[in-house]
Amino acid sequence: MSLYSRFRLFTLSILQLSLFFGLHKEASAQGLGNSPYSSLGMGEFYGEGFSDNTGMGQSGVSTASGFQINNLNPALWVRNRFTTLDIGLIGQYKDITSGSRNQRNAGGNLGYVSLAFPVHPRWVIGVSIKPYSFVDYGDSTSRQVQGTGAIANYFTTGKGGLNKASITNSVQINRYLSLGLETSYFFGNVRKATEVSLPVSGSGDYLVSLNERTTYSDIAFRAGAAVRVPLKKNKVNLNLGGAYSFGANINSNQTTSFEVTQNSFPVLQPDTLSNNLGGILKTPNQFQAGASLEWPLKFVISADYNRQYWSQYRGFAGADDNLRDVGRINVGAEWLPKFTSLKYLDIVRYRIGFSYGSTPYMINNRDIKDASVSLGITFPMGRGYQNLISFAFVGGQRGGTGSGLIRERYGRVVLGITLLERWFQKQKID
């Protein structure tokens, strides 16, 4: 690899990391549009999969092509024989319905920046940074002030989220088995506000505000294992894989303030009710296991199951938000027409996937389900077609209507850019 190529790769990495931190400096984690369900628990999750796994229904914990980074399982990073830079962008559109009320919104964010580089034929080190979850909700109601004819307007809002910066070590133990460990630093903040607007005759409304800002920072771990067993004289591989996220007690600090304003001017001196009050956010244990059949450089079909123990969750004040343990299935397939072909469309990768499961939320004693279908495609680009650009399209629905439920219909697009180079290899001169 030339000095110029290394400089280019490092420059792109630094640029994207700077962009990431710039986007998150104020808001901690940019959301993907208003999501009422993000008011519960840790908010709405981005998921661990990158663009290729997204196109396969977030499946693939047991298999990796080696051309793109598979972040579902730390043990699969060792399949990347090239130094690989993966960058992803996410956009989402939502149609939200609750009773007779309807809202449409959209949002986008940098999805991930990840760099994997082999330091030994059996050892790959990776670094990545990505948003982990986001909180983005707002609601308003109006009701009469008791004993008066005045109408008060009530507003509740939440913004922010968690991010994770990770270092992954992935090792090939023998011909069949690989192991991996991801060490992550979680950081971010969430701001919640409750406001009441009180009309006053002859002057501007009074606005009574209770503001809460909670910051988070701590370390957590995720481990993985993967097995590849050749079948039919190496023409087909049976892959098995699993990943386990260890629950963590994330250090938290909360500041709560109270203020009363009229026409944006303070009526009373703002009061800090608590300042940097210490606490913890307890995250649940999670595991994902899967199997796949792989015809190398031709076709892959995979199926995964993941389980999340949300009954273990505890918020800053110790509340469990009535969350429950849930499971989810993910299935997907990838097809590469002909890897050795000179026709461009024959070396394009095509994907399809499906995902279905329960969410941790229960509203009015009814389960909130989530189902989605996905399509994906990867185009080779650049000199020698060694780099890739990928698109994943997801359409799904969460929740339903009636009995006070909220239905979210969403469409999501993930754009992934993959650059591959060779590092740490001696140049041979003939």
Cβ atoms of 239 and 228 within 8 Å: the answer is yes
Per-residue pLDDT reduced to its tens digit, 215-249: 999 999 999 999 999 998 778 999 999 999 999 99
Q: How far apart are CA 352 and CA 58, in angstroms?
A: 10
Angle at 328 between CA 160 and CA 310, to 5 degrees: 50
Per-residue pLDDT reduced to its tens digit, 350-364: 999 999 999 999 888
Bridging pattern class, strands 387-398 and 407-421: antiparallel
Q: Phi and psi for 256 in degrees, rounded to 5?
A: -125, 130
- On the CB side of 155, how many CA atoms lie within 13 Å of its CA? 14
Tell me if residue 384 falls in helix, strand or coil: helix
DSSP code for 314: B
- Would you tell me how many other CB atoms lie within 10 Å of the CB of residue 315? 18
Per-residue pLDDT reduced to its tens digit, 152-161: 899 999 999 9
Bridging pattern class, strands 349-363 and 326-335: antiparallel
- The pLDDT, as a whole number, for residue 115 is 95
Structure tokens at 121: 């034929």
Tell me if residue 264 falls in helix, strand or coil: coil
For the chain, list residues with pLDDT below 50: 1, 3-4, 6-7, 10-11, 14-29, 430
- The pLDDT, as a whole number, for residue 151 is 85
Backbone dihedral region of 231: left (phi > 0), alpha (psi from -120 to 50 degrees) or beta?
A: beta
Q: How far apart are CA 135 and CA 128, in angstroms?
A: 22
| Sign, Cα dihedral of 320, 323, 325, 326 | negative
- The pLDDT, as a whole number, for residue 362 is 85
Closest CA to 369 of 401, 344, 333, 334: 401
Structure tokens at 163: 């991010």
Q: How far apart are CA 74 and CA 171, in angstroms?
A: 9
